[in-house]
């Protein structure tokens, strides 16, 4: 019985200690979430993604948001910056500024 409990505890320990990988897709999502104001995403991005090649930097998201605010429609912004740029915007941004 003790052997079964020990094996069970070891399995739980190994399953909770999985290391998160930070590939370009993960870093890109963290960058966009960070731009939206998530402090957790910002900390993770700063710790693990400094050398990642991401399609949309904070500057790109800021420029895209400025274009959206300054009378461009979402389709025009996507055409200018590429698919996936809508990940830079919050739902409120899209409600307020998408024309």
Residue 71 lies in a domain: yes
Per-residue confidence (pLDDT) for residue 38, from 0 to 100: 92
Q: How many CA atoms lie within 13 A of 29 on its CB side?
A: 5
Tell whether pTM > 0.85: no
Please name which of 15, 26, 16, 18 lies closest in space to residue 48, comparing C-alpha atoms: 26
- pLDDT tier at 40, thresholds 50, 70, 90: very high
Domain span at 67: 23-97
- pLDDT tier at 16, thresholds 50, 70, 90: low
Per-residue confidence (pLDDT) for residue 51, from 0 to 100: 86
The answer on pLDDT for 19 being more than 70 is no
Residue 16 lies in a domain: no
The answer on pLDDT for 77 being more than 90 is yes
Residue 38 lies in a domain: yes
Number of compact structural domains in the chain: 1
Residue 60 lies in a domain: yes
Residue 13 lies in a domain: no
Residue 42 lies in a domain: yes
Contacts 24+ apart (CB under 8 A), 88-95: 88/32, 88/35, 88/36, 88/56, 88/60, 88/61, 88/64, 89/36, 89/64, 89/65, 90/36, 93/65, 93/68
Q: What is the SS3 assignment for 23?
A: coil
User: What letter does residue 70 receive in the DSSP assignment?
Assistant: T
Residue 15 lies in a domain: no
Q: Please give the residue that has the higher pLDDT: either 25 or 11.
A: 25
Rounded average pLDDT over 64-92: 91
């Amino acid at each position: 019985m003790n052997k079964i409990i020990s094996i069970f505890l070891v399995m739980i320990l190994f399953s909770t200690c999985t290391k998160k990988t930070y590939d370009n897709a993960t870093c890109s999502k963290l960058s966009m979430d960070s731009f939206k104001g998530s402090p957790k995403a910002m900390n993770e991005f700063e710790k693990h993604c400094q050398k990642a090649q991401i399609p949309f930097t904070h500057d790109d998201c800021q420029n895209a948001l400025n274009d959206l605010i300054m009378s461009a429609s979402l389709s025009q912004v996507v055409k200018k910056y590429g698919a996936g740029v809508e990940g830079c915007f919050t739902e409120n941004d899209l409600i307020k500024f998408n024309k």
